[in-house]
Chain A
Amino acid sequence: MADTSCGDTRELLPDVALGIADAGEWTAALAHAESCAPCREELRRLSDTADGLAALAPPVEPPPGFGERAVAALGGRQPVPARTRRHAWRWAAAAGVAAAVAAGAVAWATTGGTAPPQRAVLTGQLISGGHTIGDVVLVETARPHIITVHVQYGAADGAIRCVVVDAGGRVLPVGTFTLNGGWGSWTTAVPAGGRPHEAVLTNRWGTVLAKAVLAPAH
């Protein structure tokens, strides 16, 4: 990728500092700042200003009872080590895959095959803005494949779309799913296509929210 100039980068730094640059601008600006001390320092100063600005949102008293509910949810507990909590749902993902594989095995058994079909398990982390927000596990079976997605995307409620892009660039629609409090988990079938390459989550208007590059599980 060609490096951007200081002039181009300086133009983008306010957007990067405010967190409103798009992915391409973000990547280009950070790649340049990585090797340019003056631009890096300018970004640091603008980021400090942007952070201070974000903190100026006027305080608003929440509805009655909020504080009590929050304390009840938090109080007197030690946080579970992040690794355990962050990965707890991956165990659920593994359980989902086990169920999916079992379902596939049952389907094979009832169709009277003589040998279990060859299966590969592909996995990938859903990345959004440089952060991992979930996991995808895709089990290649005799068609259709089975995909399990677990996502924790902010605290949002709403619909989220999932597609799989195969190695030939063909887009295979998986479905539209609902997030509750940012949490969503589903297992479903993937339409027939080429070798799955990438799982993509979008909002209902098509804006890409997260992607996971799929690779064979180790």
Chain B
Amino acid sequence: MNPATPDCPVRRIAPPVADLPDETLLAGLCAGDGKLTAAFVQRFQAKVYGVAMAVTADPGVAEDIAQQALERAWQHGRTYDPRRGTVAAWLAAIARNLAIDANRIRRPVLLDAADLVARVVAGDSPEARAVAGETASELIAALRELPPEQARAVVLAGIGGLTASEVAQNEGIPLGTAKTRIRTALHRLRAALVDAGADHG
């Protein structure tokens, strides 16, 4: 029998787990709560695996990295500072650093820069904004405005974790040109965030 009848309304005293904010799920993960841990993994597994795939382009390695990123979140969740960014951005940084470490001792990875840019730019959606925040939307808009060669360079460095010399090799351009493209592009992205009011510094 459903007790929630008009004569006997049941007040919801807690939202469904799926509606809980990211910070609450992270706290539940660190506290060892099985239900919140499952919700945390469900919410963020595609993010950490996606970051690892973008950097390593290897499903097996990416799976290991995603698992380890979640364990790092579990281990170090109490050090998360919401003033520095969203939980998704924090987790992405953890996964990216792990993936870059993995790439350093594997053979060099060639990334399809144009494909990566296309997938990033196509990722702007209400769902994506809900996970990554409004800044993500502003950044994607700014990426669309960059000259394609600058967008490829900064995405290879900023998402793919490639050094300037690796970007140069990946793009078949001189090192100096790669450095210029990366630096100019990051300055332009930052200026675009300031113009959009998304830089709250």
Q: Which residues of A contact B (CB under 8 A)?
A: 11, 14-15, 17-20, 22, 41, 44-46, 48-63, 66-67, 69-71, 73-79, 82, 85, 153-160, 179, 181-182, 203-204, 207, 209
Contacts and interface: CB of A to CB of B under 8 A. Distances in A.
Contact of B105 (A19, A63, A156): A156
B12 interface: no
B9 interface: no
A100 to B, nearest CB: 26
Given A20-B164, A54-B51, A71-B38, A63 B29 contact: no
Interface in B148-200: 154-155, 157-159, 161-164, 179, 182-183, 186-187, 189-190, 193-194, 199
Nearest to A69: B67
B113 interface: no
A14 B123 contact: no
A20 B162 contact: yes
A79 B75 CA distance: 6
B42 A53 contact: no
A182 B199 contact: no
Question: Lowest 6 CB-CB distances: which A-B pairs, in order?
Answer: A154-B101, A59-B46, A53-B158, A156-B102, A60-B50, A62-B49
Interface in B30-56: 30-34, 37-38, 41-42, 45-47, 49-51, 53-55
Contacts of B11: none
24 contacts: A20-B161, A20-B163, A52-B139, A53-B189, A54-B92, A54-B158, A55-B93, A58-B120, A58-B122, A59-B128, A60-B62, A61-B49, A67-B38, A71-B38, A74-B29, A75-B34, A78-B31, A79-B30, A85-B75, A154-B68, A155-B67, A155-B99, A155-B101, A158-B105
Given A17-B186, A181-B64, A51 B93 contact: yes
Interface in B81-123: 84-86, 88-89, 92-93, 96-106, 119-120, 122-123
A70 B67 contact: yes
A179 B61 CA distance: 13
A62 B66 contact: yes
A153 B103 CA distance: 11
B105 A160 contact: yes
Contacts of A79: 30, 32, 74-75, 77
A186 to B, nearest CB: 15
A63 B142 CA distance: 32
Contacts, number: 221
Contacts of A45: 190, 194, 199, 201
Contacts of A181: 64, 68
A203 B104 CA distance: 7
Contacts of A51: 84-85, 89, 93
Given A53-B154, A59-B128, 7 more contacts: A49-B139, A50-B158, A52-B193, A59-B47, A70-B67, A74-B29, A155-B101
Main secondary structure of the interface of B (DSSP, over half): helix
B45 A66 contact: yes
Contacts of B194: 45
B145 interface: no
Contacts of A74: 29, 37, 41, 70-71, 74
B136 A55 contact: yes
B108 to A, nearest CB: 9
A153 B199 CA distance: 34
Contacts of A69: 67
B85 A52 contact: yes
Given A15-B183, A53-B154, A73 B159 contact: no
Contacts of A58: 50, 54, 119-120, 122-123
A87 to B, nearest CB: 13
